[in-house]
Amino acid sequence: MQVTVKLFASFRSGRFEIETLDYPPGTTVADVADALNLTHAELGIMMINNRHVKLEQVLAEGDTLALFPLLGGG
């Protein structure tokens, strides 16, 4: 299935800004993050089609997944 992945801020470094990628059915947000070498600890806001989701959310054909890094500094 085709999923559009949008990466923000530091996640783009060495990766991409937006790409449509092919994943097997049943792929979760965590699977996508793992395939992109993003650790779960550095994941902040995660959205599918502009709705907030968790790591275990299963993706569907045509979804757009947006991943933001976790920011905690002050």
Which residue carries 């979760």 as its tokens? Answer: 28
Which residue carries 């907030």 as its tokens? Answer: 52
Give the range of 26-34, 38-46, 57-65 binding another protein by CB under 8 A.
Answer: 38-46
Main-chain phi, psi angles of 69, to 5 degrees:
-70, 155
Q: How far is the CB of 13 from another protein (least distance, A)?
A: 9
Judged by beta carbon, residue 1 or residue 68, the one nearer another protein is 68
First-to-last C-alpha distance (Å) of the chain: 40
Judged by beta carbon, residue 12 or residue 35, the one nearer another protein is 12
Judged by beta carbon, residue 50 or residue 61, the one nearer another protein is 50
